[in-house]
């Protein structure tokens, strides 16, 4: 019988080895669309857990406000203005992160167009609007991943987290450009996980439900619609941005080292299989 070698945690650490695997402390986490809504909460919570967020947003003032919030709470962060549909702007974002922190450990492709969109049948979607949604919601994650993958590869690994939507399996009406773009994130994740696996880069996708944030929408859901959705969930309450944070931290941590190419629903059981 072969000898079993037991490796003990360092004696000077008060944290069990298994618990340390779930830590995101000191990880540089680049979050697009982090000036408001879900992205803002992700940045704040990651910073509270000891991570170093790069708060990237089209609205530079909003990004700076989030970093100021983080600093006031004792954390550290970097604000960067970025248009994720512009290759030069995306490269500037990656360069700024490297200049400040020396690496990028995690990319969260959160930036997307939705709140500003009007509901309309697909025949009436202006081509310019369709193109803009595709550029931001599909080209954006592609450009961001393309910019950070070489940095992660040189560092020996990393994490890329893409964001889909429960609008995909539901086939939500009158937002075909948005639903199409979020459908693409699932295939995008599957293919990228195959390509980057040997580089130690894990690529996963989160499919959130309808999240209530402070962001104003062109078309707000009615109270009846909200109640109808909650009634169909296994967990009978509205979804908040904080409901996504634990899953994102797990996928950003060493604990998820053997998980890649997965799309994970986080919607209170609204779309779970029977």
Phi, psi for residue 88 in degrees, rounded to 5: -65, -40
Residue 123 token pair: 């025949």
d(CA 92, CA 81): 9
Is 3 part of a structural domain of the chain? no
CATH of the domain at 150: 3.40.50.720
**Per-residue model confidence as pLDDT tens digits over 89-103:** 999 999 999 999 999
Is 115 part of a structural domain of the chain? yes
Domain count, the chain: 1
Is 6 part of a structural domain of the chain? no
Average pLDDT, the chain: 89
Cα–Cα distances (Å) from 99 to 59, 102, 221, 242, in that order, read 21, 6, 42, 30
Which contacts of 126-133 are long-range, i.e. CB under 8 A and separated by 24 or more positions? 129/177, 130/177, 132/85, 133/177, 133/178, 133/181
d(CA 166, CA 93): 29
User: Mean of the pLDDT values across residues 112-119?
Assistant: 89
Helix, strand or coil, per DSSP, at residue 38:
helix
Which pLDDT value is given to residue 27?
A: 98
Please give the positions annotated as active site: 178
CB neighbour class for 141 (10 Å; exposed up to 12, middle 13-18, buried from 19) = buried
Is 149 part of a structural domain of the chain? yes
* Cβ atoms of 131 and 56 closer than 8 Å: no
Is 86 part of a structural domain of the chain? yes
Is 9 part of a structural domain of the chain? no
Q: Is the pLDDT of residue 37 over 80?
A: yes
Q: At what angle do helices 37-48 and 242-252 cross, to 10 degrees?
A: 60
Percent of the chain with pLDDT over 90: 72
Q: Is the pLDDT of residue 117 over 70?
A: yes
Is 190 part of a structural domain of the chain? yes
Is 43 part of a structural domain of the chain? yes
Predicted confidence band of residue 52 (pLDDT cuts 50, 70, 90): very high
Residue with tokens 């580089």: 199
Which pLDDT value is given to residue 217?
A: 53
Helix, strand counts (H, E) of the chain: 10, 7
Domain with 199 in it:
24-266
């Amino acid at each position: 019988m072969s000898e079993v070698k037991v490796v003990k945690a360092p004696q000077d650490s008060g944290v069990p080895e298994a618990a340390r695997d779930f830590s995101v402390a000191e990880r540089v986490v680049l979050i697009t669309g982090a000036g408001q809504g879900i992205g803002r909460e992700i940045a704040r919570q990651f910073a509270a857990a000891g991570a170093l967020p790069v708060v990237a947003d089209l609205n530079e003032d909003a990004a700076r406000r989030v970093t100021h919030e983080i600093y006031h709470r004792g954390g550290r962060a970097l604000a960067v203005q970025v248009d994720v549909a512009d290759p030069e702007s995306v490269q500037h974002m990656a360069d700024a992160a490297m200049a400040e922190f020396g690496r990028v450990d995690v990319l969260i492709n959160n930036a997307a167009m939705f709140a500003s969109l009007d509901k309309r049948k697909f025949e009436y979607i202006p081509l310019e609007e369709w193109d803009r949604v595709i550029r931001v919601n599909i080209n954006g994650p592609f450009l961001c991943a393309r910019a950070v993958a070489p940095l992660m590869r040189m560092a020996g690994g990393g994490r890329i987290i893409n964001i889909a939507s429960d609008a995909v399996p539901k086939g939500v009406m009158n937002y075909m450009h948005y639903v199409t773009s979020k459908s693409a994130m699932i295939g995008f994740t599957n293919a990228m996980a195959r390509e980057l696996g040997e580089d130690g880069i894990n690529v996963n996708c989160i499919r959130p439900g309808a999240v209530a944030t402070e962001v104003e929408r062109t078309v707000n859901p009615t109270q009846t619609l909200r109640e109808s959705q909650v009634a169909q969930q296994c967990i009978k309450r509205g979804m908040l941005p904080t409901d996504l944070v634990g899953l994102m931290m797990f996928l950003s941590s060493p604990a998820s080292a053997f998980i890649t190419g997965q799309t994970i629903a986080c919607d209170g059981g609204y779309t779970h299989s029977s």
